[in-house]
Amino acid sequence: MTDGIAKDRLEKLQALRSAGQDPFPPRVPRGQPIASVLSDFAQRTGQTVTLAGRLGVIRDFGKLRFAHLEDRSGSIQVGFQRDKLAAFWPDRKRIEGNDLVSITGELGTTQKGEPTLWATEVTLASKALRAAPEKWHGLTDTEQRYRMRYVDLFANAEVRQSFAMRSRIVREVRAYFDSLDYLEVETPILQPIFGGASARPFITHHNTLDMQLYLRIAPELYLKRLLVGGMERVYEIGRVFRNEGISTRHNPEVTMLESYEAWADYRDIMARVEGLFAHLCQRVLDGKTKVTFREKEFDLQPPFQKEKYLDLFAQQNPGTDWFDHQSVLRRAKELHLKTDGIEPAKLANDVFEATVEDTLQGPIFVYDYPVAISPLAKRVPEDPRITERFELFVCGMELGNAFSELNDPIDQEQRFLEQMQHKDDETPGEVDFDYVTALEYGMPPAGGLGIGIDRLCMLLSGSTSIRDVVLFPLLRREVAVPVEPHDVPVAPPDAPK
For 472-495, give one letter per residue: b (16+ CB within 10 A) or e.
Answer: ebeeeeeeeeeeeeeeeeeeeeee
Q: How is the beta sheet containing 211-215 ordered, strand by strand?
A: 190-191, 211-215, 203-206
Amino acid at 203: I
Binding piece for RNA, criterion CB under 7 A, among 26-34, 181-189, 475-483, 485-493: 475-483
Binding of RNA by 362 (CB under 7 A): no
Distance CA 180, CA 274 (A): 14
The mark string for 390-409 relative to RNA (x by CB under 7 A, - otherwise) is: --------x--x--------
Query: In this structure, are residues 264 and 270 in contact, taking their beta carbons and an 8 Å threshold?
Result: no
Binding piece for RNA, criterion CB under 7 A, among 26-34, 43-51, 76-84, 484-492: 76-84
Binding of RNA by 77 (CB under 7 A): yes
Binding of RNA by 313 (CB under 7 A): no
The mark string for 265-294 relative to RNA (x by CB under 7 A, - otherwise) is: ------------------------------
To RNA, the closest distance from the beta carbon of 151 in angstroms equals 8
User: Which residues does residue 122 pair with via DSSP β-bridges, in sequence order?
Assistant: 103
Closest CA to 159 of 470, 482, 383, 492: 470
Q: Quick count: other Cβ atoms within 10 Å of Cβ 202?
A: 15
Distance CA 6, CA 22 (A): 18
Task: Select the residue interacting with RNA from 10, 28, 38, 57 (CB under 7 A).
Answer: 57
Task: Select the residue interacting with RNA from 40, 42, 87, 143 (CB under 7 A).
Answer: 143
Task: Select the residue interacting with RNA from 300, 467, 469, 470 (CB under 7 A).
Answer: 467
Binding of RNA by 70 (CB under 7 A): no
Q: Which is nearer to RNA, 26 or 46 (CB)?
A: 46
CA angle 426, 217, 197 (to 5 degrees): 60
Task: Select the residue interacting with RNA from 31, 53, 133, 363 (CB under 7 A).
Answer: 133
User: How many amino acids of this chain bind RNA (CB under 7 A)?
Assistant: 76
To RNA, the closest distance from the beta carbon of 60 in angstroms equals 4
Closest CA to 310 of 256, 366, 391, 360: 366
Task: Select the residue interacting with RNA from 350, 368, 405, 432 (CB under 7 A).
Answer: 350
Task: Select the residue interacting with RNA from 19, 48, 134, 183 (CB under 7 A).
Answer: 134
Q: Cβ contacts of residue 360 below 8 Å, gap of 6+?
A: 312, 366, 393, 394, 395, 396
Q: Which is nearer to RNA, 220 or 432 (CB)?
A: 220
Binding of RNA by 220 (CB under 7 A): yes
Binding piece for RNA, criterion CB under 7 A, among 190-198, 230-238, 259-267, 437-445: 190-198
Distance CA 312, CA 326 (A): 20
Query: In this structure, are residues 200 and 426 in contact, taking their beta carbons and an 8 Å threshold?
Result: yes
Q: Which is nearer to RNA, 96 or 232 (CB)?
A: 96
Binding of RNA by 12 (CB under 7 A): yes
Q: Which is nearer to RNA, 45 or 144 (CB)?
A: 144
